[in-house]
């Protein structure tokens, strides 16, 4: 499903990732654990093809870094959901529009866009807030919107970069449950966190990363 | 992506960032207003120069020893010269009449015989009203028989030539400065509105939007905003020009509608191009 082979990444001549080998199977829930600055975000960015590896190759689903052309990257991103600590919602549109946007970029018909966006919002429990603007929602709610946006195109993998970082305890466990449920339904999940405690309490495989190397 | 969607997004984009949109439209309007004023001034300047030039005449005085028939013959020959628009034959009697009109009765009557010579009064084509071209026409007339003197206010025409040159050069320089600053100001304002939404563009890419999907609504937004700014400039120009025409009836104003309407497509082009360049730059920096 996801494979990294001898991947290195240099940014401005500093090595951020070095000789990373990684395999994540279909339907797995994997935690990427490491201290701040370890390279977790960089690794996820590579999986999302926001950036290209300096060395080595990466395969995500059917897409391989050696064969993927730049103009195919948008197509790939529609099949890889991603969420962040800071949600990255479009602040000038309401919740419904934020989720619908991910469908519009794929050229989905209007009627289907409306139905799917509402379905997905319902799944994260926010259909009733569809007309609210992002800043009218709590952090936990905003994160649920961003999850809805990530899921609306039925991705085969969901990348989560520190998704609980800005949330209180209750919202955190809420989101975590949601991620587990998503995984339970068959979506592969890769979640980056610096929270050792959290990692220790979850029944999932942990991949530890430090100074750009996998331990 | 459907054009309908892009259009809707463009309008919504203008609305969502309405503060910025208004600033951008206003800036475009002001820039184009300045440019439009320049254009109208230019138009009128050339209108005045043209009017002055149309008054240029060559007066060919004929000697007393040629008769009407010969004079009319000469007139036909002069009419055939390239650049001659119109020739009037002023016979001795008509010359006397004109003199009386200008200076009153009596003076002429003091002399026994009409001393005023007959003449051909030549009007030249607009494109032949520079001193070089006039000299050429004069040269072709000079060699004919029965001509006493040719007069066309040489110094005056030469001065007009120099003035026209200075006006043209100054106008071009000023036009270039105003035009370039308009482009610069509009492009910069549009750039600011795009940069303010850099984060949005980044997020759009994140969820798998292609560059075109992102660009086209922004492009349309720029075109619509620019068109609105241009239309605003046009409206202000139109009403103030017409106001001036009504309130300064002694001045002949040049026709202005085309120049005024030009501000609308200019706005559209400036807005569209500015937005396109800015979005391209943002997309490139995100790649
Ligand atoms: N654009 C960049 N330019 C320069 N250095 C960068 C850039 N992006 C990341 N780095 C460096 O790469 C290293 C890894 O960064 P990364 O964001 O991947 O860490 P992280 O594990 O996600 O940390 P955190 O838990 O704080 O999010 C850091 O030392 C960081 O300074
Ligand atoms: Mg990080």
**Are the C-beta atoms of residues A90 and A101 closer than 8 Å to each other?**
yes
Say how far apart CA B112 and CA B114 lie, in whole Å. Answer: 7
Burial label, B91 (beta-carbon count in 10 A; 0-12, 13-18, 19+): middle
Say how far apart CA B12 and CA B15 lie, in whole Å. Answer: 5
The last residue of a domain, from among B108, B131, B151:
B151
pLDDT above 90: percentage of residues in chain B = 49
Q: Does a structural domain hold residue B109?
A: yes
Say how far apart CA A127 and CA A129 lie, in whole Å. Answer: 5
Burial label, B5 (beta-carbon count in 10 A; 0-12, 13-18, 19+): middle
Report the mean per-residue pLDDT for chain B: 90
Pairing of strands A188-193, A55-60: unpaired
pLDDT in tens, B184-201: 998 999 899 899 999 999
- Is the same domain home to B194 and B119? no
pLDDT in tens, B213-250: 999 999 999 999 999 999 999 999 999 999 999 999 88
By C-alpha distance, the chain A residue nearest B206 is: A77
pLDDT band at B1 (very low <50, low <70, confident <90, very high): low
Alpha helices, H only, A23-94: 40-47, 73-77
pLDDT of B112 over the 80 cut: no
Q: Which ligand is nearest to the CA of A34?
A: 1
DSSP per-residue string spanning B10-70: HHHHHHHTHHHHHHHHHHHHHHHHHHHHHHHHHHHHHHHHHHHHHT-EEEEEEPTTS-HHH
Residue A3, C-beta contacts closer than 8 angstroms, at least 6 positions apart: A22, A23, A24, A58, A59
- Is the same domain home to B143 and B171? no
Residues near ligand 1 (Cβ within 6 A): A 11-12, 16, 34, 36-42, 162, 194
- Is the same domain home to B70 and B179? no
pLDDT score for B19: 92
- Is the same domain home to B274 and B186? yes
Which tokens hold the place of B135? Answer: 């000299």
pLDDT score for B156: 84
- Is the same domain home to B280 and B177? yes
- Is the same domain home to B127 and B170? no
CA of B224 to the centre of ligand 2 (A): 40
Helix, strand and coil in chain B, % to nearest 5: 75, 10, 20
By C-alpha distance, the chain B residue nearest A89 is: B203
Query: How many C-beta atoms surround the C-beta of residue A183 within 10 A?
Result: 18
- Is the same domain home to B174 and B38? yes
Say how far apart CA A121 and CA A99 lie, in whole Å. Answer: 8
- Is the same domain home to B137 and B89? yes
Q: Which ipTM did the prediction report?
A: 0.93
- Is the same domain home to B40 and B61? no
Give the residue among B279, B263, B260 at the shortest CA–CA distance from B220.
B279
Residue among A17, A39, A43, A208 to mutate when testing ligand 1 (max atoms within 8 A of CB): A39
Distances (CA, A) of A154 to A82, A182, B8: 12, 10, 26
Q: Which ligand is nearest to the CA of A40?
A: 1
The last residue of a domain, from among B151, B172, B206:
B151
Q: Does a structural domain hold residue B178?
A: yes
Question: C-alpha angle B132/B137/B142, rounded to 5°?
Answer: 120
- Total number of domains in chain B: 2
**Are the C-beta atoms of residues A186 and A29 closer than 8 Å to each other?**
no
Structural domain boundaries enclosing B41: 3-51+161-286
Give the residue among A31, A11, A8 at the shortest CA–CA distance from A21.
A8
Residue B106, C-beta contacts closer than 8 angstroms, at least 6 positions apart: none
Name the DSSP letter for residue A2.
Answer: E
Q: Does a structural domain hold residue B156?
A: no
Say how far apart CA B24 and CA B42 lie, in whole Å. Answer: 27
- Is the same domain home to B201 and B77? no
Pairwise CB contact (< 8 Å): B204 & A74: no
Helix (H, G, I), strand (E, B) or coil at B84: strand
Q: Does a structural domain hold residue B207?
A: yes
Name the DSSP letter for residue A33.
Answer: E
Distances (CA, A) of B206 to A6, A50, A130, A153, B1: 25, 8, 21, 13, 18
CA of A43 to the centre of ligand 2 (A): 9
Minimum distance, in Å, between the CA of residue B28 and any CA atom of chain A? 24
pLDDT tens across the length of chain A (215 residues)? 899 999 999 999 999 999 999 999 999 999 999 999 999 999 999 999 999 999 999 999 989 998 999 889 999 999 999 999 999 999 999 999 999 999 999 989 999 999 999 999 999 999 999 999 999 999 999 999 999 999 999 999 999 999 998 888 889 999 999 999 999 999 999 999 999 988 888 899 999 999 999 98
Give the residue among A160, A167, A200, A161 at the shortest CA–CA distance from A183.
A160
pLDDT score for B47: 87
Mean pLDDT of B51-69: 87
Strand partners, A192: A32, A161
Query: How many C-beta atoms surround the C-beta of residue A136 within 10 A?
Result: 12
Q: Does a structural domain hold residue B95?
A: yes
Name the DSSP letter for residue A51.
Answer: S
Question: C-alpha angle A159/A160/A166, rounded to 5°?
Answer: 165
pLDDT band at B127 (very low <50, low <70, confident <90, very high): confident
- Is the same domain home to B240 and B224? yes
Say how far apart CA A160 and CA A146 lie, in whole Å. Answer: 10
CA of A41 to the centre of ligand 2 (A): 4
Q: Which residue has the tokens 């055939």?
A: B80
- Is the same domain home to B29 and B165? yes
Burial label, B9 (beta-carbon count in 10 A; 0-12, 13-18, 19+): buried
Helix (H, G, I), strand (E, B) or coil at A85: coil
B16: nearest CB among A50, A92, A149? A92
């Amino acid at each position: 499903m996801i494979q990294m082979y001898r991947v290195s990444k240099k940014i401005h001549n500093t090595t951020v990732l070095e000789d990373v080998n990684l395999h994540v199977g279909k339907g797995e829930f994997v935690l990427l654990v490491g201290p701040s600055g370890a390279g977790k975000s960089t690794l996820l960015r590579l999986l999302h093809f926001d950036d290209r590896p300096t060395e080595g190759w990466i395969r995500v689903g059917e897409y391989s870094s050696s064969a993927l052309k730049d103009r195919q990257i948008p197509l790939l991103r529609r099949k890889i959901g991603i969420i962040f600590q800071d949600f990255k919602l479009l602040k000038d549109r309401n919740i419904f529009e934020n989720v619908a946007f991910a469908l519009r970029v794929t050229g989905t018909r209007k009627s289907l866009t409306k139905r799917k966006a509402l379905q997905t919002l319902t799944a994260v429990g926010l259909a009733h807030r569809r007309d609210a603007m992002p800043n009218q929602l709590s952090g936990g709610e905003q994160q649920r919107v961003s999850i809805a946006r990530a899921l609306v195109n039925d991705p085969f993998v969901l990348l989560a970069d520190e998704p609980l970082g800005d949330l209180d305890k209750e919202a955190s466990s809420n989101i975590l449950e949601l991620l587990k449920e998503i995984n339970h339904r068959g979506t592969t999940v890769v979640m980056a966190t610096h929270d050792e405690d959290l990692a220790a309490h979850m029944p999932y495989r942990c991949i530890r990363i430090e100074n750009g190397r996998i331990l | 992506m459907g054009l309908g969607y892009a259009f809707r997004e463009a309008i919504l984009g203008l609305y969502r960032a309405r503060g910025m949109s208004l600033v951008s439209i206003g800036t475009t309007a002001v820039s184009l207003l300045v440019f439009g004023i320049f254009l109208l001034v230019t138009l009128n300047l050339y209108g005045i120069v043209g009017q002055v030039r149309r008054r240029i005449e060559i007066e060919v005085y004929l000697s007393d020893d040629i008769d009407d028939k010969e004079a009319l013959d000469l007139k036909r020959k002069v009419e055939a010269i390239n650049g001659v628009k119109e020739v009037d034959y002023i016979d001795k009697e008509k010359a006397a009449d004109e003199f009386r009109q200008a200076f009153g009765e009596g003076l002429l009557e003091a002399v026994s015989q009409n001393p005023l010579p007959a003449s051909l009064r030549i009007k030249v084509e607009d494109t032949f009203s520079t001193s070089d071209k006039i000299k050429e026409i004069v040269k072709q007339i000079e060699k004919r028989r029965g001509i006493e003197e040719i007069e066309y206010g040489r110094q005056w025409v030469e001065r007009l030539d120099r003035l026209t040159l200075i006006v043209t050069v100054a106008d071009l320089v000023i036009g270039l400065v105003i035009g370039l600053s308009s482009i610069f100001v509009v492009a910069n304002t549009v750039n600011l509105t795009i940069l303010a939404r850099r984060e949005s563009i980044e997020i759009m890419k994140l969820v798998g939007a292609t560059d075109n999907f992102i660009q086209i609504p922004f492009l349309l937004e720029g075109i619509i905003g620019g068109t609105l700014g241009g239309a605003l400039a046009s409206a202000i120009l139109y009403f103030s020009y017409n106001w001036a025409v009504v309130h300064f009836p002694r001045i002949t104003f040049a026709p202005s509608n085309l120049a005024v309407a030009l501000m609308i497509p200019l706005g559209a082009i400036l807005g569209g191009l500015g937005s396109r360049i800015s979005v391209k730059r943002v997309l490139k920096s995100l790649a």
